């Protein structure tokens, strides 16, 4: 959790009409996460305040800038505007705003820039100033922030007096803060008592905070409070309560992420609009200067022409024409340089975005591993009541849906960064199409739809095609039809356009008789995040599927076509030119040989997350293996040195010694034991590194039972 700033926005600000309007609108847009609009009005406040020579309003304008940059976590701009707010607050001798500005700087350095000691110094300065104000409630933000830093650094005895003072301030000045501030204090006190191993008192305070906030949906504190409860339950060995609290933590974390979607969209818009604004402003400035110079030259030329004879006038026109051309060339050269710089900046932003998406994918996939994995394990039980099984199926559907969303965002990122490559392999399209279509049988039954496969007998048995990308295209298109069709039919067809000895051109058609697409929406359906029809039928979806289809087909030198009428259904189709493989496709070797698990096999699992340990151990038991679990890479190396294992499942992100370094050390004395990497990151970004250090394979979290069984069997049979 970041630094807190309770109280700043509740003060009554008496300003002139225009400044009051600007400040009010800026705050309103900030609350709605419309950051660009809020910044516009904050800048207007500062500009007008400068014209009026009002240090007080300049300070408050800069403070609003700080508030906006806090939303998009732009700590460098927060630092600049906090310093400006402090400078003008001191000029205005506004003690309250001096305290608030110092408190903001404390948050910038401690929470944003990682300079904890410097941040603590600013918090203490803020507290010293606040103590000189007659209103004791102004002491609350720095007091609570100092306590929060000590809790974060696990210096619990130093934290306690500040937390107790914050508690007393909320009791003495309840009208100044409200239930959120009170609950924040209770949450941090709960964290304190966990650190002091007084778990009963900790649960009492955390429960009070949760009870206060669940009615008003303050997801950020609820998320952290349940996480703290899970930690307390885990320390006393109460696994059931710990698991319940973890699930509530994940629930509110998802809620918090949903709440932040609007914020992230506004951040993206803001970044784009600021860049566009800067480029447009600079271009207009240069164009204006250039036109002014041209106008000036024209005046000089006109006056000179009147005062001189025609011959001299002609010479002057030639001279000024040449000079203008030379100047114009210089302007063009400057603009070319600007374009080169803009291109470099765009490439840098693309790399930053890719890194951000990779990091977020790991952070989201890790808790999903627990949700999907535990749900799968529970569904394996035979004695689950029917009503609970329905709830578990719903939970698994939600987990799978969220995982599908993450994977689609990653797919878009990979395609845009040109990291997606074609890999053609001999493929039986009849079997592939049949398997894909009937994988939607469950969804079809739920909506009373009929699935129909139509493939000509003349289709060759084996064709050279990137089967994974074709599968992704078909899954998205069939899924789209399933989403918008009820009590109807869904067709998957292959038609032969042309065929000779070595090459074939086929057409895939996916058709349904569902709701169809309105004429005015057709041109938007392939854009990212478009969700045609959502407002009418409440269909779930991310708006990414058809965009992925379009990009994948472009990679395969094809394009998607749409034929639809509202109320009558939709048909998508695309053509592929493929090489015919004359030899029959070799049958896959049955790696699930009988008896592979009959003999005793020892598997070492290196995994630090408690929930993930439970899930992995149970999955291994279900598919017939026993395992030994260690919590970090250092223990994994020691265990392999002492005992023999048939296979190692190695998580890449662990404390003390990560999976990558642990593998390097194991390979110094053991080159034969298969090591399989477990990761929630995007596989394509880390696969090469894993193979280079001696790992044998890699598998994504959350683990699928069949995938885990296949990858283990594959390496134990070698």
The pLDDT value recorded for residue 303 is 56
The pLDDT value recorded for residue 374 is 73
CA nearest 433: which of 251, 576, 249, 567? 576
The pLDDT value recorded for residue 306 is 56
Q: What is the 3-state secondary structure (H, E, C) of 589-633?
A: CCCCCCCCCCCCCEEEEECCCHHHHHHHHHHHHHCCCEEEEECCH
| Confidence (pTM) | 0.40
CA nearest 43: which of 25, 33, 31, 32? 25
The pLDDT value recorded for residue 599 is 47
Long-range pairs, 249-255, Cβ under 8 A, ≥24? 249/223, 250/367, 250/370, 250/371, 252/219, 252/222, 252/223, 252/226, 253/219, 253/223, 253/367, 254/402, 255/217, 255/219, 255/223
The pLDDT value recorded for residue 9 is 43
Q: Which parts of the chain have pLDDT scores under 50?
A: 1, 4, 6-15, 265, 268, 272, 275-278, 280-281, 528-542, 584-599
The CA distance from 355 to 562, in Å, is 34
Query: Which residues share a beta bridge with 510?
Result: 492, 572
Strands 561-565 and 503-512: what pairing? unpaired
The pLDDT value recorded for residue 437 is 82
DSSP state of 112: I
Task: Name residues whose C-beta falls within 8 Å of residue 318's C-beta, 6 or more positions apart in sequence.
Answer: none
The angle, 0 to 180 degrees and rounded to 10, between the axes of the packed helices 35-51 and 55-71 is 160
Phi, then psi, of 628 in degrees rounded to 5: -115, 135
SS3 49: helix
- Is the link from the previous residue into 702 a cis peptide, with omega within 30 of 0? yes
The pLDDT value recorded for residue 28 is 84
Q: Largest alpha-carbon pair distance within the chain?
A: 110
The CA distance from 165 to 144, in Å, is 8
Query: Which residues share a beta bridge with 452?
Result: 491
Q: Which two tokens stand for residue 606?
A: 């290196």
Q: Which two tokens stand for residue 289?
A: 């200067």
């Amino acid at each position: 959790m970041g630094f807190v700033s309770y109280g700043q926005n509740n003060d009554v600000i008496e300003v002139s009409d225009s400044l009051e309007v600007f400040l009010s609108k800026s705050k309103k847009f900030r609350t709605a996460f419309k950051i660009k609009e809020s910044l516009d009005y904050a800048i207007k406040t500062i500009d007008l305040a400068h014209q009026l020579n009002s240090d007080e309003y300049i300070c408050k304008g800069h403070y609003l800038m700080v508030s906006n940059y806090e939303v998009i976590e732009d700590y460098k701009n927060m630092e600049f505007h906090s310093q400006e707010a402090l400078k003008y607050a001191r000029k205005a001798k506004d003690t309250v705003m001096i305290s608030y500005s110092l408190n903001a700087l404390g948050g910038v350095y401690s929470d944003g820039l990682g300079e904890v000691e410097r941040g603590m110094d600013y918090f203490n300065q803020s507290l010293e100033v606040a103590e000189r104000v007659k209103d004791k409630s102004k002491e609350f933000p720095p007091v609570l922030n100092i306590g929060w830093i000590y809790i974060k650094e696990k210096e619990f005895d130093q934290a306690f007096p500040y937390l107790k003072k914050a508690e007393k301030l909320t009791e003495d000045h309840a009208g100044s803060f409200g239930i959120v501030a009170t609950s924040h204090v209770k949450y941090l006190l709960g964290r304190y008592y966990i650190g002091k191993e007084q778990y009963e008192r900790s649960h009492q305070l955390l429960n009070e905070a949760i009870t206060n906030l669940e009615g008003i949906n303050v997801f950020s504190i609820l998320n952290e409070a349940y996480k703290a409860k899970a930690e307390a339950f885990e320390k006393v060995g109460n696994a059931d309560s710990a698991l319940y609290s973890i699930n509530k933590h994940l629930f509110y974390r998802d809620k918090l992420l949903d709440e932040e979607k609007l914020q992230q969209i506004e951040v993206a818009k803001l970044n784009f609009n600021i860049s566009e604004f800067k480029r447009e402003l600079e271009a207009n400035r240069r164009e204006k200067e250039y036109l002014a110079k041209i106008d000036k030259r024209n005046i000089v030329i006109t006056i000179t022409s009147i005062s001189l004879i025609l011959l001299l006038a002609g010479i002057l026109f030639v001279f000024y024409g040449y000079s203008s051309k030379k100047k114009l060339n210089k302007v063009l050269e400057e603009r070319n340089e600007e374009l080169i710089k803009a291109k470099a900046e765009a490439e840098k932003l693309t790399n930053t975005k890719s890194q951000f998406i990779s990091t977020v994918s790991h952070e989201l996939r890790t808790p999903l591993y627990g949700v999907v994995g535990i749900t799968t394990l529970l569904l394996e039980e035979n004695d689950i009541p029917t009503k609970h099984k329905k709830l578990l199926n719903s939970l698994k559907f939600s987990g799978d849906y969220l995982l599908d969303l993450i994977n689609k965002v990653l797919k878009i990122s990979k395609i845009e960064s040109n990291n997606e490559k074609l890999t053609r392999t001999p493929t039986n399209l009849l079997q592939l199409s049949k398997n894909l279509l009937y994988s939607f049988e469950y969804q079809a039954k739920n909506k009373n739809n009929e699935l129909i496969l139509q493939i000509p007998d003349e289709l060759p048995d084996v064709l050279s095609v990137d089967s994974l990308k074709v599968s992704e295209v078909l899954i998205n298109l069939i899924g789209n039809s399933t989403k918008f069709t009820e009590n109807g039919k869904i067709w998957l067809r292959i038609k032969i356009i042309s065929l000779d000895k070595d090459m074939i051109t086929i057409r895939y058609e996916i058709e349904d008789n569902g709701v169809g697409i309105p004429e005015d929406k057709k041109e938007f359906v392939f854009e990212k995040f478009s969700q045609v029809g959502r407002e009418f039928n409440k269909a779930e979806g991310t708006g990414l599927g058809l965009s992925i289809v379009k990009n994948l087909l472009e990679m395969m030198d094809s394009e998607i076509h749409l034929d639809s009428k509202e109320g009558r259904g939709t048909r998508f189709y695309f053509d592929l030119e493929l090489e015919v493989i004359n030899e029959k496709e070799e049958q896959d070797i049955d790696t699930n040989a009988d008896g592979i698990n009959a003999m005793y096999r020892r598997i070492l699992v290196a995994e630090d997350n408690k929930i993930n340990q439970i899930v992995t151990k149970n999955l291994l038991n279900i598919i017939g293996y026993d395992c030994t679990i260690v919590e970090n890479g250092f223990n994994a190396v020691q265990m392999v040195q002492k005992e023999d294992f048939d296979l190692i499942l190695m998580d890449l992100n662990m404390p003390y010694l990560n999976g990558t370094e642990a593998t390097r050390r194991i390979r110094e004395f053991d080159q034969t034991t298969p090591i399989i990497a477990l990761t929630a990151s995007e596989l394509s970004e880390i696969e090469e590194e894993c193979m280079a250090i001696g790992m044998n394979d890699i598998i994504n979290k959350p683990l699928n039972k069949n995938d885990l069984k296949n990858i283990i069997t594959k390496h134990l049979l070698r």
